[in-house]
Structure 1
Amino acid sequence: MDLDRSSVALYGARIVISLVGFISTVYFARELGSSGLGLYFTFETVVNVLAVFSRFGVDNAVIKRMSAADTDAERGRYLTGALAVVTVPFVCVSLVVLLARGPLDALFELALVPLLVVVLAVETAQWVLISALRGEQRIATTAGLELLGELARIGVSVGLVLAGFGAVGLVYGLMLGQFLRAVAAAGLIRTRLRRPTRETVRSLLSFSKYAAGMNVSHLAYSWFDTLVLALLASKAAVGVYESAWRVSLVVMLASSSIGVALAPSVSSWHASEEWDRIESAVSEAVTYALLLVVPAVVGVAVLGEAFMEVVYRFETGGLVLVVLVAEKLLQAVKDVAQSTLLGTERERVVFWTNAVTVAANVALNLLLVPVFGMLGAAVATFATAGTAAVLQVAVLRRSMAFGVDRRAVAWQVGAALAMGAAVVLASRAVPPTTVPRLFGLIGLGVAVYGLCVLGHGGMRTRLLAVLPRPGSS
């Protein structure tokens, strides 16, 4: 139940984050256009690419080592060691950024390199500190911090756009949101700093070097496509593609929240050799990670084109959205499998499976984007997620017995198809040509799917069990 509640807390926060993030992106798209929005997305992409190398997997190592530590002193040594270790790659990356100032400013079409270094520093710090909170298994706390940072980012960004700062206002908003998140995380960590030993540093590095490979894979999966579009296409293409990508991320909230909450719990059970609990948790996690993804695929197949046109006022992007949402079926399974592999100290397997997917993603993007543009990037992402999911599930099944509740998943598929049929019939009478009509059809789909899902006894019991009750802690 702790795992369920942690997942729900993080999921709830990310629902709010996604909602306000979506509304703000719509506002920025209408105020700045796809090109202005694409400029900001290009900057954010470069930050996320460089942050992977500046963290060097230390954030994942902190979660693993602190969650498995037996004493507060041991946790303190890991936290201090992580903060010390992460400074080295950050300094190296910052020097490279400063040396490459000319090409980077040309990519941004503005002189943003000094801001890039500052944002990178804050980004690196906040990830390590939030990972420490997750290592303390305080998932609900990190959910609140994610929400705080996002609200601050959006609030500052809107204010600066209104003041005439344009896309640069979004950059300042990003910097402040991360800064507040880092400061709040530092104040909330219960673990006190302790002098690390050589063994502490060695233990962190032994895990982080493999986690870094995992993060590079995430980099290729999440950001390489956008980077290639920025280099080979246009800022407008970046704006449309990233807007579609962020809509698709909403359907991943459940599975990513389950994955984040699963990792420290699996690590703790692995330390005490409670394999039966791990197998049971993984089986349920895979089943319920698909709960929102399945209907989303049907929904965007029916309303995706109208959504991009009516909401963002983009003339294209509907097919790209369909491919990106369909890819989330594969990514949902990968999230659970990867969290389990890391929690059971199989980081070497994660490293090598992700290395394969990195190579596939890079090759496919470079091959498809010049020919097919945004659609090529979406197809490359779909293929990458599929490769990673197949490899990691195959490895995981060699060491433990787990599966999915086939009846529950079949019920989800049936409910999604019923939802799609209802929306198609309703759209003939009420075409989705305005925002109220579009969201009315979406609301109808949500209601139909929700009622159908609640008709399944097992899913109804599980969903009701994780809801907060009066007097519960």
Structure 2
Amino acid sequence: MSLGGETAKATIAKFAMAAVGFFGSILFARELGPKAFGGYYLLFSVTKLADRPLMGWATASKKQFADNETKRRELVGAQFLFNAVWILIATAIGLLLADRFRSYSGIAMAPFLFVVLLVSESNYEAFDRVLTASGRVGLSTWTDALRSYLTLPLQVFFVFVLTGYAADGMVYGLVGATVFTFPVIFYYIGTRPAVPSVDTFFSLAQYARYSIPTDFFATLYNRLDVILLGMLLLPAAAANYEIAAQLTAPATFVATLAGSGLMPRVSRLRAEGKTVGQEVTNTIAFSSIFAVPIFFGALAIPRALVVTVYGPEYTLGVSLLAGIADTVYFRRRQRH
């Protein structure tokens, strides 16, 4: 499959998702207010940090799935097994820290919501990575777009129709959409799980010992600002940060999508003894298509963007917008 073609299809899907997510963020930010809206994102950030071992293991599965077609059933089985074990461990830790979750996020049901988010998000994202091992980045992203299209109406139902759910309703909507779309991911993987051999498990563990810490620290680097805002200030501060991040999100779309398909593509080309230079060059060329105009737009009219879209309760986001755009722009340049 062409990496450029898959990236183009994935970028269209990503913008479709962004449109839905952006509209949803406006609805919920205005309805819930900074405290509850920020509490949701704090809880989500902690969950994404807790599931990094699963994502690191999924990265190992992704590489071997692309390289070794004969062991694909065992690789899928090993991913299910590792997911189950880690979710049990993380759930036990989450229950022990239940009071801290409540005080940190400001959500009374935070421990329970953490568990259901962890189960749904980690399984979906892990097997989504396995799906991209076949080079089908466009299919993966359009499936995620379908999940977004389901998430918004479900969240609207819980937050606006069944009043009283607030941030809890946003979690239930996301989890419900994930449950509906996970079978689609698994169908297109096209591989039934099998009990993994000791050799398969050991081979995955050898690679995962590097990919797990890499994934953990990369996520910590990307989400540390939100997590620290929740620790040092209040959920409302995290809400202001998130709405500013929403306005700059398109700057990362193309580079992120191209990069997700690059690893299995390069791995396969190297295994076949072919050169990889052109694939890497194409990925770099795509990287800053949207980062540059968004960066300068955020510098020019930050207050008009934030207050008009999200309302006067989020004026703190005005000062954050230019800084986040600056970070996104220069981080993208440093990576390439």
Q: What TM-score results when the alignment is normalised by the length of structure 1?
A: 0.67
- Partner in structure 2 of residue 364 of structure 1: none
The equivalent of 2:75 in structure 1 is 78
Structure 1 partner of 2:52:
52
- Note closer, same or farther for the CA distance 1:330–1:214 as it changes in structure 2 (3 Å cut): farther
- More RCO (CA 8 Å, sep 6+): 2
**Are the aligned partners of 1:82 and 1:201 in contact in 2 as well (CA < 8 Å)?**
no
The alpha-carbon deviation at position 125 of structure 1 amounts to 1.2
How far the C-alpha of 1:187 sits from its partner, in A, is: 2.6
Shift of 1:203: 1.3
1:174 Cα deviation from its structure 2 partner: 1.9
Structure 2: gaps (5+ residues): none
- For residue 136 of structure 1, report the CA deviation from its aligned partner: 2.3
Contact map agreement 2:26 2:309 (CA 8 A) in 1: yes
Residue 105 (structure 2) pairs with residue 108 (structure 1): yes
Establish whether residue 291 from structure 1 lines up as the match of residue 267 from structure 2: no
Corresponding residue for residue 247 of structure 1: 247
| 2:145 alignment counterpart | 147
Distance 1:296 1:115 in 2: 34
For 2:127, the aligned partner's letter is: L
- Structure 1 residue 135 corresponds to structure 2 residue 119: no
What secondary structure is seen at the aligned counterpart in 1 of 2:316?
coil
Separation in 1, partners of 2:65, 2:263: 12
* Alpha-carbon shift at residue 56 of structure 1 (Å): 5.5
**Identical columns (%):** 21
For the 8 Å contact 1:123–1:178, the answer to whether it is kept is: yes
Task: State the secondary structure of the residue aligned to 1:57.
Answer: helix
Q: 1:315 to 1:195 in 2, by over 3 A?
A: closer
Residue 323 of structure 2 corresponds to: 323
The amino acid of 2:277's aligned partner reads E
Mapped pair 1:87 → 2:84: yes
Aligned to 1:97: 94
**What is the rounded CA distance, in whole Å, between the counterparts of 1:273 and 1:141 in structure 2?**
27
1:312 Cα deviation (Å)? Answer: 0.9
Question: Contact 1:24–1:154 at 8 Å: present in 2 too?
Answer: yes
Paired position in structure 2 for 1:229 = 229
Matched to 1:111, the amino acid is M
Checking the alignment, whether the CA contact within 8 Å between 2:61 and 2:75 is kept in structure 1 is yes
Match of 1:161 in 2: 159
Query: For residue 239 of structure 1, what is the amino acid of its counterpart?
Result: A
CA contact 2:250–2:291 (8 Å) conserved in 1: no
Query: How many angstroms apart in 2 are the aligned matches of 1:263 and 1:305?
Result: 39
Partner of 2:46: helix, strand, or coil? Answer: helix
Tell me, which stretches of 5 or more residues in structure 1 are unaligned?
334-385, 394-473
Q: Kindly provide the CA deviation profile for residues 113-160 of structure 1, in whole angstroms up to 9, marking residues without a partner as x.
A: 123212211112112221221122222221121111112221111122
Q: Which has the larger radius of gyration?
A: 1
Describe the shift of the 1:326–1:172 C-alpha distance in structure 2 as closer, same or farther (beyond 3 A): same
1:179 Cα deviation from its structure 2 partner: 1.8
Code of the residue aligned with 1:38 in structure 2: it is: G
The AA in structure 1 aligned to 2:99 is G
Residue pairs, 1:359-370, within 5 angstroms: none
| Partner of residue 119, structure 1 | 117
**Paired residue for 1:218?**
218
